[in-house]
Structure 1
Amino acid sequence: MHKRQKTSSLLNFKLEDFKSRLRRLYMLRGYPMPSESQRGAGMHLVNTFEERFDDLDGYSEEHALVKLLASSMSNSVVSLASFERNVRRFTCTGTIFRHMPYEMTILTSASLVRCLGDEAKFVNKLKIKVCLPNGKLAVGKLWKYDCNYNIAIVKTKSFLEFHGAHIHGVQFNSELFQTNLVAIGRCYESGQLMASSGMLLHKNSILDCQELMVATCKITKAGIGGPLIDSSGNFVGMNFYSKDETPFLPVSILLKCFKHFEISGRVVKPSLGLRVGSLGAQKLSICEEIHRSFPHAHGIYVEMVLDGSPAALSGIKGGDLISTLDGVALSNAQEVLYIL
């Protein structure tokens, strides 16, 4: 009887100790502590920044290739976390895209430094830590960011064992729509590399940025800011998170942003007053109507034009099809936005 009472008391102490540690863990990670009623109803946190994504079973030839592709990028993929005092605010993935003898430059999402509850504002004096591919931590410093494209550039100390990803222009032609793509991420706490495969879609993203393209790769929030590569290992774009698909900013737009950062310190984005989309992303009725007038048509479809905008003053109307721009044949909306 005496032993049972002692055991019961010991178990109660461990439970309280566990609750205390859990509260501290939630607070330091920036998560809300679930209430007693929420826990009693079986509610729990979802879409955390520790949630992995990895749909590779290790047996098929396709998955073996995906693992090899992800491994080839591993020395260029890091994870980052931002802290306000000792409380973590955000974690995401980043890509080393420039490696100098004295510093490394990392591409990631501007969500790393956005204010919680007000994404239009950015937090000053956040501490940024970079989890390197070998698991070691380094101090990061925010260099530039752009809220429209949701990109940020972070710099950190150079390490010889890592290298910058080879980022160059990629043509978004019909061949790219037929090849496998691989979305890559890295967990901040564990440092583990993650990968998910998918295909490019003729689809506009639901996120508020018409330059975004969409792939069928499924990632978690831990993969935000990570690289998307093709079957040849070419860098295709930077990933964002959506529940059932992966929106990404194509490399052509990223390269344009880099150039603007270096020349003027900010991204200059002219407002043309139109929204365009790939022809293949339109409804079948629209495609049929265009095909009747132009049987061999190709190009991009003008979905909307604002009254009085530069596009409207140039004579562009909703429902128009733009096949070339400055002599360049067009196949997707991002080509237009890049040229302009």
Structure 2
Amino acid sequence: MKFSIERGVLLKAVAQAQSVVERRNTIPILANVLIEAAGGEVRFRATDLDIEVVDRAAATVEAEGATTVAAVLLNEIVRKLPDGALVTLTDQGGNGRLSIEAGRSNFQLATLPKEDFPVMASSEYEASFTALAPVLRRLFDKAKFAISTEETRYYLNGVYMHVAEGDGGRVLRCVATDGHRLARIDAELPEGAEKMAGVIVPRKTVNELRKLLDDDEALIEVSVSETKVRFVTPSITLTSKVIDGTFPDYSRVIPQNNAKRLEVDASEFAKAVDRVATVSSERSRAVKLSLEEDRLVLSVNAPDSGAAEEELAVAYGDERLEIGFNAKYLQEIANQVDRENAVFLFNSSGDPTLMREGDDTSAVYVVMPMRV
């Protein structure tokens, strides 16, 4: 195998592959990337047995072939090569070495046989549809902050993507929750998604997928089966197992009758929460919201370190209310708001609070209160 490729193109492909590779694993081949050169392109394939990413890049192929090499090491080498360099990779076969040449630099890396590399079994996908990258980006970006990190409730360790009934008909919906906060994001249902099974996309897959969604013009092909989900861009294919579990009935958690309405500048609110939370103890991070007509006072009282208070002008016309929240949760929810104003809907100091962006109901957030 021998091919030449521009350093920037190679770096993009290798960086994508090495991020999938698990740093700590007991199977040496899983630390490697499979490089396959054929025709006028090179494919870089990496897997951790749960996710597989294949990145295709244009290259000048002199001799076709395939080999595997340490992904993280290859990424480090390519990253340190000069911008614009032409990189030539050569595998003689038989000597267990991959040669990397760029200008006056020459590296020899150990290889492992391509036959040992595990390729994820193909799946029969029950539903396939296409969506613009910004649509998928919004669905996953706005939901992922609420993914649980608690391994015992493994079915909450991802984003639940499914077809649901929205205000104006059926929608493509992403939901994530950790039991303390919940995010529910809707988008127009793409053609072909109607029969899609609901799947829980794992946290690591959500993070890897995010790297594919930066191009606003890109059309992403999504295929879903009961066990796998696949995302295809013009140059990258990301295939992942889905979490084998049942996502809870989240609709029971979303309050329907919260009538006390607070409207506040989302950016100012997030900054004010951050400021007053500075003095709170790291363990609880509790912030109290005291509401009365058109006035909100954020306060923290931490016996060990001190107290803080900040007042904000808001739109609020209901009875006086005092309610406490984890400062981190409040900030994360407020930071999801793309519009100027965030609307909070309260019931009482002990009930879940609903938050949305202005009058837009396509993105809804729920946060549980704390005792303060």
Q: TM-score, normalised by structure 1?
A: 0.27
**Based on CA coordinates, which of the two structures has the bigger radius of gyration?**
2
Q: Which structure shows the bigger proportion of residues in strand conformation?
A: 2
Q: Which structure shows the bigger proportion of residues in helix conformation?
A: 1
Q: TM-score, normalised by structure 2?
A: 0.25
| Greater length-normalized contact order (CA 8 Å, ≥ 6 residues apart) | 1
